[in-house]
A and B are shown apart, each in its own frame.
Chain A
Amino acid sequence: MASTLPGIGARPDQTLALNMKLLSHHELQGFGGIGEGMGMQLARDGRRILWLAHESAPKNFTAVDVTDPRSPRVVVQTELPHAKVRSNSLDVVGDVLAVAYQTSAVNTRPAGFDLFDISTPEKPKLISHFDASGPHSRGVHAVWFVDGEYVHMASGAADFQPTHPSDDQFYRIIDVRRPSKPEEVGRWWMPGTRVGDSAPPPPRHPQFDSGFRAHNTNVFPQRPDRAYVGYISGGAVILDIADKSRPKAVAHWRYSPPYTGFTHTVLPLLTRDLLIVSDECVYNDGKDWPKLVWVVDARVEGNPVPISTFPMPPVGAFAREGGRFGAHNLHENLPVPGSWKSEEIIVGTFFGGGVRAFDVANPYQPQEIAYFVPPAPRLSRAGAIQLNDVYIDDRRLVYTVDRFAGGLYVLEMTV
């Protein structure tokens, strides 16, 4: 047993599981590549419909009836107009679905977001389109829509010329109280990233420059005057949005370099004065390792102090299986009916490392308490599973999706 030889590592064809049990798996009619948009609708007829944004064209979004988690069923799957746009992100409030559109090049449409009426899930009806296209804009990468009133998003804009082409997506607040006529009410960008700013452009990350731009822009009704923003190369930002027309930075935590960049999600644990900050791995084969999930002490808002990181699965065992391996999305305690909320158990996806649950009851020593790593999906170009996003419903069922081919996995967490 006590061998000194290095481990031979996980095999991409095997399933690894601890305290998570597979209830069902759905390949989504052959279009099993899902981005980072997952939302649950509690439909009026009693069904639970899980809405999923695809990672890339040709599909836009897919809705899956998961009322019976052992037998999920696709109720609708929609198309994108062309292959230079992807939806990637969505959110659901009641019977309204917001879907992001990001283009692969500037000056391309549609770039922005759509609002759909999904009161009949089989037949989503377009309510309106918010246009965010422009000569320097690739549209919307991620939306946060939880109160039915405002869409918070990472987006470019027609009037925004970044100082660097990668810095095109900033934080925008769109009022959708009149869903047929969404209107921008506020925005914030990192000083120096817009042409004309008095601040100089920020220095680029020497190896892993993914841009100074917003990714997740989380606002919780329990704390309506704050936006928690992952700003990719710019680290974690907390904005005072008491006046939505003038967001102000109140905290800014930057840790790259020396780390490898790409701050993705800033999830506040509001009753505990903690932030859970996740990175995103964006390179294959462990090139940008370590991509971590950080626990940050936020008792003094303006001085965030990192106090621990989630214990990561062994890089030697997973990084060279194929594709990416490292942190990405977290279940974000969405403040909507149907979503599970926990300030002690945090669940995230780690691409080749699968989906993993951590107990942060002791924030100084997070413990891994459950994981599930499916085998490589058939036809996946990565050669290994690439779990991309996770959503947990109020039955404590875990839904997780593969980035390329595997589709949807429904799991029971037994811990």
Chain B
Amino acid sequence: MHSPSPTRDPLAGKLPVSLITGFLGSGKTTLLKRLLRDPGMNRAAVIINEFGEVGIDHELVASSSEQTTLLANGCLCCSVRTDLQETLRELFIRRRAGEVIDFDRVFVETTGLADPAPVLHTLQTDGMLGAQYRLDCVVTLVDAVNGLRNLDDAPEAAKQAAVADRIVITKGDIAAPGAVESIEARLEEMNPYAARTVAVNGEVEVAFLRDIGPRSARAAAGELERWLAPSGEGHPEGAYLGRRARAGGHDAAIKSFCLWFDQPFTWDGFSAAVQLLTSLRGPDLLRVKGLVNVTGERGPVLVQGAQHVFHPPVTLEAWAGNDRRSRIVFITRNVAQEAIEAVFAAVGALSAQSA
């Protein structure tokens, strides 16, 4: 048992929210049905919509009405920012009043056309939601039949894959031979930091999608690794390694890379760099997540953001191992790794001078 802390753990105790996203027809409803029938999910709350899809059918809602809340407001993507916010607030208030079950996690299904970033912003900027909920993960479904074309043609589809923590490839069983391999290669290029799995007849290991984000300021190394680099990227030597953008193939606008920094940051220096980045290229920083070594903090500082909005930083209790370098994953659109490195270098040089 840990020595009892007299303060609140900034992560433990917040209800995890998972965002289920994916282009039209990618199988989100099927996946949700599968998830909800898992015995470990019997206290999940689900926020869904029925726009343009089969929807969570009445059979499912009826059979598990104690567990689900149907958001029958049509297009989530049109009004997601206020409606989802209100729904999450009201769910918590009703939970507190005993009007709904004591749900222990929330799944939010977005519409196929939704840009997931505003939903992430909702969790980051609403104070009440931030006090009660935390983002656990973004799960993106990509179907093996149409997925490749959608990634090329639909900016929303590409963005959904880019911000994912987990990618589920669906419809592999009805796709042309080689389709799964092609889409895997493409996704590896766009977002190698998302772990991928291939659903077979809509079946996915529930554990693959659950408990992804750090759940405690005392998170163990494995838990952080599972969140930050689940595809098993090792610890490269030296700074500025981990370049993952592939040469050749598509002229992909979306790039993913991990920056490593040997020297600790001052918090002022780090936040200045991030502020500069977000003010210059906010819309193109699709997802940023990392562990930062900040001078004077007892453990790594967990940061994550989407576009111009960042979660409040959380200092973890302790470093898990000897490697105390900062590592930050960037998933960007039309922003080269060198450009981001240059910003950090410039801010670092300035703060070194002023120190």
Q: Decide whether A and B are members of one complex.
A: yes
- Is A342's CB under 8 angstroms from B6's CB? yes
Give which listed residue, B1, B6, B9, B99, contacts A340 with CB less than 8 A. Answer: B6
- Is B99's CB under 8 angstroms from A15's CB? no
CA distance A1 to B7 in the complex (A): 34
- Is B98's CB under 8 angstroms from A373's CB? yes
CA distance A373 to B95 in the complex (A): 12
The contact string, 1 if C-beta is below 8 Å from chain A, for chain B 86-112, is 110011011111110010000000000
Chain B residues near A23 (CB-CB < 8 A): none
- Is A394's CB under 8 angstroms from B4's CB? yes
Question: Given known contacts A1-B69, A414-B13, A415-B13, is B99 in contact with A10 (CB within 8 Å)?
Answer: yes
Question: Given known contacts A16-B98, A342-B7, is B12 in contact with A1 (CB within 8 Å)?
Answer: no
Give which listed residue, B8, B69, B99, contacts A9 with CB less than 8 A. Answer: B99
Chain B residues near A342 (CB-CB < 8 A): 6-7
Shortest distance from the beta carbon of B8 to any chain A beta carbon, whole Å: 5
Q: How large is the interface on A (under 10, 10 to 19, 20 to 34, 35 or more residues)?
A: 35 or more
Chain A residues near B102 (CB-CB < 8 A): 15-18
A303 interface residue (CB < 8 Å to B): no
* CB-CB nearest in chain B for A8: B99
- Is B12's CB under 8 angstroms from A10's CB? no
CA distance A318 to B99 in the complex (A): 11
A369 interface residue (CB < 8 Å to B): yes
- Is A314's CB under 8 angstroms from B13's CB? no
- Is A345's CB under 8 angstroms from B6's CB? yes
Chain A residues near B95 (CB-CB < 8 A): 16, 18
A7 interface residue (CB < 8 Å to B): yes
CA distance A332 to B189 in the complex (A): 57
Chain B residues near A183 (CB-CB < 8 A): none
The contact string, 1 if C-beta is below 8 Å from chain A, for chain B 13-30, is 100000000000000000
* CB-CB nearest in chain B for A343: B6
CA distance A292 to B118 in the complex (A): 37
Chain B residues near A313 (CB-CB < 8 A): 96-97
B343 interface residue (CB < 8 Å to A): no
B71 interface residue (CB < 8 Å to A): yes
- Is B4's CB under 8 angstroms from A415's CB? no
* A-B contacts, 28 listed (Cβ < 8 Å): A1-B73, A2-B86, A7-B94, A9-B97, A9-B98, A9-B99, A17-B102, A18-B13, A18-B96, A18-B102, A19-B12, A314-B93, A317-B98, A318-B97, A340-B6, A344-B8, A345-B6, A345-B7, A345-B8, A361-B8, A367-B131, A368-B96, A373-B98, A394-B4, A414-B12, A414-B13, A415-B9, A415-B13
17 additional A-B residue pairs with CB within 8 Å, beyond A313-B96, A313-B97, A314-B97: A2-B86, A7-B94, A9-B99, A11-B98, A17-B102, A18-B13, A19-B13, A314-B93, A317-B98, A317-B99, A343-B6, A345-B6, A369-B8, A396-B5, A414-B12, A415-B12, A415-B13
Task: Give the top 3 A-B pairs by smallest Cβ distance, nearest first.
Answer: A10-B98, A415-B13, A396-B4
